[in-house]
Amino acid sequence: MSHHPRQHPLRLRQHRTPVNRTRPRTATAALACFAACVCALFSAPAYADIVQSPAGSTASVQVSVTLDNDWQFVDAECLFIPLLVTYGRADDTSILGETTVTKVGSESVRNEGTFLVLPGDAVSGQLLDEIFVCPADGTGEYRLSTVVRAIGPASEDSVELDPLTFWVRPASSQISRVTAVSVHEGTRVRGRATAGDSMDKSAATGVVEIRFAKNRRWGAPYYATVTDGRFDQVVPQSIARGTRVKATLTRCSWCSRASRTARVR
């Protein structure tokens, strides 16, 4: 995510789990950072859409949120997604926004956060916040729900914005340097599993499925855990030299499947 100098008059106090990396922005800086984040992270392809919720209103505030709806993991770290908040409010009213990211079809993912506009801040403008999806959450379709609370001197009101849908795609994976060598205990299969941008590969996670060719088909699988982007497994079976072996990366929550073949030496 690109970094811009701290600017005023916005003085936001906001928190984010697991970590907050947002800074107060003016409306111009927020828009610039929003666009820069999209380009710099290479996480949103050119065909992705910018989606905006219809403005939600109470008697004293009006708020909408905007985000890019197509993202991709680049490594095994949490993906932080810029969220642009456009607001207007009465001079004596604070705005507390509560965001919740859930995964469609799953009840285990619930990533929560907040944004805040105080009485001393501008009465209208834009601020840059962020939501997040972590590798353990997996890839697929996600939904952002936002509840806006208008907190006045003597009363409080709230409105729920229409939810926004976005997608998180897996990082592209690669299996490389696969070797299969006959050893005393059987056949030792080793290799590397990486994922991410072609210029900046990260160690993949998950399990490698190992199969040997048998009667023009692939035989029963053996499994090797990926550790620090490498796998090393001795299959307790003597395999004839020249037999084809296929290694396939599976069970990586944030990266794609990938396969590579070699021959037993």
**pLDDT band at residue 175 using 50, 70 and 90 as cut-offs:** very high
Q: Which of 117, 143, 169 is the last residue of a domain?
A: 169
Q: Give the pLDDT confidence of 3-39 residue by residue, as tens digits.
A: 333 222 322 333 333 333 333 333 334 444 444 444 4
Statement to judge: residues 155 and 217 lie in one domain: no
- The range of the structural domain enclosing residue 234 comes to 173-263
CA dist., res. 130 & res. 133, Å (int) = 10
Q: Which of 138, 169, 200 is the last residue of a domain?
A: 169
Q: Is residue 198 part of a domain?
A: yes
Statement to judge: residues 136 and 205 lie in one domain: no
Task: Tell me the residue ranges of DSSP E strands in the chain.
Answer: 50-52, 56-57, 61-68, 70-72, 79-89, 94-103, 110-117, 124-133, 140-151, 156-160, 164-169, 173-183, 186-197, 200-203, 207-214, 217-218, 222-225, 230-235, 244-250, 258-263
Q: Is the pLDDT of residue 44 over 50?
A: no
pLDDT at residue number 21 = 33
Q: Which of 129, 146, 169 is the last residue of a domain?
A: 169
Q: Is the pLDDT of residue 45 over 50?
A: no
- CATH code of the domain containing 57: 2.60.40.1470
Q: Tell me whether residue 234 is exposed, middle or buried, using C-beta atoms within 10 angstroms of its C-beta: 0 to 12, 13 to 18, 19 or more.
A: middle
Most confident range (mean pLDDT) of 11-25, 188-202, 222-236 is: 222-236
Q: What's the domain count of the chain?
A: 2
Statement to judge: residues 62 and 116 lie in one domain: yes
- CATH code of the domain containing 197: 2.60.40.2470
Q: Which of 115, 121, 139 is CA-nearest to residue 43?
A: 139
Q: Is residue 14 part of a domain?
A: no
CA dist., res. 135 & res. 138, Å (int) = 5
Question: What is residue 228's DSSP assignment?
Answer: T
